Structure 1
Amino acid sequence: MSDDRQLGFDTLQIHAGTEPDPATGARQVPIYQTTAYVFKDAEHAARLFNLEEVGYIYSRLTNPTVAALQNRIAALEGGAGAVCCSSGHAAQIMALFPLMGPGKNVVASTRLYGGSVTQLSQTIRRFGWETKFVDFDDEAAVAAAIDDNTRAVFCESIANPGGYITDIPAIAAIADKAGVPLIVDNTSATPYLCNPISLGATLVVHSTTKYLTGNGTVMGGCVVDSGKFDWMASDKFPSLSQPEPAYHGLVFAEALGPMAFTFHSIAIGLRDLGMTMNPQAAHYTLMGIETLSLRMEKHVANAEKVANWLEADPRVDAVTYAGLDSSPYKHRVATVCPKGAGALFTVAIKGGYDACVKLVDSLELFSHVANLGDTRSLVIHSASTTHRQLSPEQQEAAGAAPNVVRISIGIEDPDDIIADLDQALAKATA
């Protein structure tokens, strides 16, 4: 575009970060299936390794196909830059890596995906990091949990599995007052439904495996930096504000400004952690994103119809979909997710645990898988699978009690989705 007009979301999801291949004119982004790149000469190589010039060295760090995806996601999220990696869990570690250190902590929502709870409560302790879990509906408790060793606040925009919507502006204000970044997992919402950066988030993480790819084919993750946080404002973040020995004393925040976090994540995070996204996965995700808005509109429309039908069914005790008028989170939809409350929620079945298991086994159109965000409708009993490793109290707090199933509504004909649920409920509650 020759003028300064801001492109719309539907245009960005197709064009952002890409252009015809300069070598061949290929319109779709090629899969650059290569491990390394030939340097022009010794001086060129030295400049690349010194971060004095942007370019390609080795595909653990950068790859043209992956770079196109990074640029596209950054554009959709309104960020300064992005780094893609091997999975959503890798993205969470990548987001925390430049911020944390031994003895430091992150304040996290109790309403998180079970795997994230385990990662934050168990695995990161091996790095000497800690997590304080707090009910993010209690803003005073969130503020009280932040101490001198807190280096980040972490939540999900639309929480998995319950579909609860976080009051991102309120949590962002608390994090900002404390001088720490807010990290928002935007996987369940996608940038089409929610834009955490515009609501005050510093960093956004994604499991690109889910809605962004949308077809259940490849794993991936992404960290998007808003470019708005002042890493030099305190001594809390020495990785970004102090000289880096591996780059001859380079201070990332001074030298790279809004791109400091992104370059650090590539030059040190990917270099040393090696959580690299492969170019074929990036290619699949680029193609998936081209139809993101179309899919999300259908996901939301289907979810609204199915959730209303389920809520009215006498075999169902409760539905947690935030788009329902009965939901305590309905008032947040207009502010946080103005285009809809997503397509992920839980359903409490009369008959408890046994009825949930029977329901899962009786569904035919739904796929019983440990995934969400597919074009297909998906179901899982979280308490016995994705949240099995949690205590009963943690399961309840996360919205994964034994009497509920998580459903991810696909883009099939909604009447077919309802018919499948109807026949399965009949068998589960007989």
Structure 2
Amino acid sequence: MTDAPSYGFDTLQIHAGARPDPATGARQTPIYQTTSYVFRDADHAAALFNLQEVGYIYSRLTNPTVAVLQERLATLEGGVGAVCCSSGHAAQILALFPLMAPGCNVVASTRLYGGTVTQFSQTIKRFGWSATFVDTDDLDAVRDAIDENTRAVFCESIANPGGYVTDIRTLADVADAAGVPLIVDNTTATPYLCNPIAQGAALVVHSTTKYLTGNGTVTGGAVIDSGNFDWSASDKFPSLSAPEPAYHGLKFHETFGSLAFTFHGIAIGLRDLGMTMNPQAAHYTLMGIETLSLRMQRHCDNAIKVASWLEQDDRVDYVTYAGLPSSPYYERALACYPKGTSGLFTFAVKGGYEACIKLVDALDIFSHVANLGDTRSLIIHSASTTHRQLTPEQQEAAGAGPNVVRISIGIEDPDDLIADLDQALTKACG
């Protein structure tokens, strides 16, 4: 496509990055199921390995099918480049990898997916990294948590599981003042509902497994580079600003400018960590993105109808959906997420833990799975599953208390979803 920024979202989600196959004229992006690529000659091979020429070497690094997805995601998010990988968790490590070093820390929101909390509070310690968790609505607390060893601030645009919405602009201002990038997980919102880069984020991460693919078939992740952060403004990010020994002293930021992070993510991140997205997964995700705006709008429309019904039900203590006027985040949602606040939220069941378990077991249409963002409606009791490894205090902070279930509203008939919840609540609450 040419002049891509002039096209609307609905056009870009279908066409960005895709061109007819030059060999066959195939209209749909082919699945390039190959491990390696033939070099034109020895000089061509050397230029590719020296990062003097862009091209395909080996599918751990680059693949034509994956490249289309990377370009499409970068376009939809308003970034300069993207790196796709094997899962959302892989994307988080890939995003932090060029920034961190032993002794460094990331300041992270307390309202994160339970697996992310575990990854940040436990697993990254093995790299000598650490995380400080704060309520990102408390900007003073964020400022106080940032110290000389902080290398990033991390949040979710719409938090999993509670559906809380983040004021990205104000958080980005705090990160900018401290000279560190804001990384925003935009999985729940998708670029249809939220553009973190336009609101000041330096990097965006996704679990493409969820709404972007939308059909529950493949796992994947992505890191989108805004191209706006000055990696050479301080000595905090030597992986991007200082000479790289593996490439004979090449300086990524000096050499590649706004694309420094993207090139590092491929040339070093994927090269050495090996968290590659396979081409078939990229193909499924590309097909899913073609209908992203249609699905997301239906997710939002269904969610507000189901959430409104649940809020009026005597068997329910509260509902966390930010699209409800009763939500403390309602005004923020209108301002920052005018198209809607996705299809993910929680509600508390009277009767506590046992009632939640009975509810999950009694549902017919809702599937009990550890996933979200599917066309199908999904439910899970986070305290006994996805957030099980967290302390009770961490569970409450994340919005995953023992009396709470998380639901991901699909694109089915909303009246059918309400009827299913009604009969299950009757069985669960007596």
- Give the TM-score category using the shorter length: over 0.9
Question: Kindly tell me: are residues 85 and 16 of structure 1, through their superposed partners in 2, closer, same or farther at Cα, counting changes over 3 Å?
Answer: same
What CA distance in whole angstroms lies between the structure 2 residues aligned with 1:335 and 1:278? Answer: 38
What CA distance in whole angstroms lies between the structure 2 residues aligned with 1:94 and 1:193? Answer: 24
Output one character per residue of 1:58-113: Cα deviation in whole Å (capped at 9) or x when no partner. 00000000000000000000000000000000000000000000000000000000
> What stretches of structure 1 of length at least 5 have no aligned partner?
none
- What residue in structure 2 maps to residue 263 of structure 1? 263
1:234 is aligned to 2:234: yes
- What residue in structure 1 maps to residue 190 of structure 2? 190
Q: TM-score, normalised by structure 1?
A: 0.99
Preserved contact between residue 4 and residue 16 of structure 2 (Cα < 8 Å): no
Secondary structure of 1:399's partner?
A: coil
Cα RMSD (Å) of the superposition? 0.8
- What residue in structure 1 maps to residue 83 of structure 2? 83
- What residue in structure 1 maps to residue 161 of structure 2? 161
> What stretches of structure 2 of length at least 5 have no aligned partner?
none
- What residue in structure 2 maps to residue 423 of structure 1? 423
What CA distance in whole angstroms lies between the structure 2 residues aligned with 1:326 and 1:6? Answer: 38
What's the CA shift for 1:402?
0.2
What CA distance in whole angstroms lies between the structure 2 residues aligned with 1:256 and 1:337? Answer: 33
What's the CA shift for 1:331?
1.1
Output one character per residue of 1:276-332: Cα deviation in whole Å (capped at 9) or x when no partner. 000000000000000000000000000000000000001100000000000001111
What CA distance in whole angstroms lies between the structure 1 residues aligned with 2:228 and 2:137? Answer: 25
Alignment of 1:51-90 (within 5 A): 51-90=51-90
Question: Kindly tell me: are residues 3 and 170 of structure 1, through their superposed partners in 2, closer, same or farther at Cα, counting changes over 3 Å?
Answer: closer
1:320 is aligned to 2:327: no
Preserved contact between residue 193 and residue 342 of structure 2 (Cα < 8 Å): yes
- What residue in structure 1 maps to residue 152 of structure 2? 152
What's the CA shift for 1:2?
6.2
Alignment of 1:210-289 (within 5 A): 210-289=210-289
Secondary structure of 1:126's partner?
A: helix
Deviation >4 Å, runs of 4+: 1-5
What CA distance in whole angstroms lies between the structure 2 residues aligned with 1:4 and 1:310? Answer: 42
Secondary structure of 1:133's partner?
A: strand
- What residue in structure 2 maps to residue 206 of structure 1? 206
Question: Kindly tell me: are residues 2 and 127 of structure 1, through their superposed partners in 2, closer, same or farther at Cα, counting changes over 3 Å?
Answer: closer
Q: TM-score, normalised by structure 2?
A: 0.99
- What residue in structure 2 maps to residue 105 of structure 1? 105
Question: Kindly tell me: are residues 292 and 5 of structure 1, through their superposed partners in 2, closer, same or farther at Cα, counting changes over 3 Å?
Answer: closer
Output one character per residue of 1:363-407: Cα deviation in whole Å (capped at 9) or x when no partner. 000000000000000000000000000000000000000000000
Secondary structure of 1:262's partner?
A: helix
Secondary structure of 2:6's partner?
A: coil
What CA distance in whole angstroms lies between the structure 1 residues aligned with 2:11 and 2:367? Answer: 32
Amino acid at match of 1:306: V
- What residue in structure 1 maps to residue 384 of structure 2? 384
Secondary structure of 1:68's partner?
A: helix
What CA distance in whole angstroms lies between the structure 1 residues aligned with 2:134 and 2:54? Answer: 41
What CA distance in whole angstroms lies between the structure 2 residues aligned with 1:279 and 1:413? Answer: 33
Secondary structure of 1:107's partner?
A: strand
Secondary structure of 2:83's partner?
A: strand
What CA distance in whole angstroms lies between the structure 1 residues aligned with 2:61 and 2:332? Answer: 39
What's the CA shift for 1:333?
1.2
Output one character per residue of 1:133-190: Cα deviation in whole Å (capped at 9) or x when no partner. 0011111101110000000000000000000001111100000000000000000000
What CA distance in whole angstroms lies between the structure 1 residues aligned with 2:64 and 2:122? Answer: 35
What's the CA shift for 1:335?
2.9
Amino acid at match of 1:6: S
Question: Kindly tell me: are residues 3 and 36 of structure 1, through their superposed partners in 2, closer, same or farther at Cα, counting changes over 3 Å?
Answer: closer
Q: Could you tell me the percent identity over the aligned residues?
A: 79
Question: Kindly tell me: are residues 5 and 350 of structure 1, through their superposed partners in 2, closer, same or farther at Cα, counting changes over 3 Å?
Answer: closer
1:400 is aligned to 2:372: no
Question: Kindly tell me: are residues 282 and 258 of structure 1, through their superposed partners in 2, closer, same or farther at Cα, counting changes over 3 Å?
Answer: same
Amino acid at match of 2:416: D
What's the CA shift for 1:3?
6.0
Question: Kindly tell me: are residues 12 and 4 of structure 1, through their superposed partners in 2, closer, same or farther at Cα, counting changes over 3 Å?
Answer: closer
What CA distance in whole angstroms lies between the structure 2 residues aligned with 1:56 and 1:268? Answer: 15
Alignment of 1:41-56 (within 5 A): 41-56=41-56
What's the CA shift for 1:336?
2.2
What's the CA shift for 1:206?
0.2
What CA distance in whole angstroms lies between the structure 2 residues aligned with 1:184 and 1:2? Answer: 28
Secondary structure of 1:213's partner?
A: coil
What's the CA shift for 1:223?
0.1
What CA distance in whole angstroms lies between the structure 1 residues aligned with 2:408 and 2:71? Answer: 28
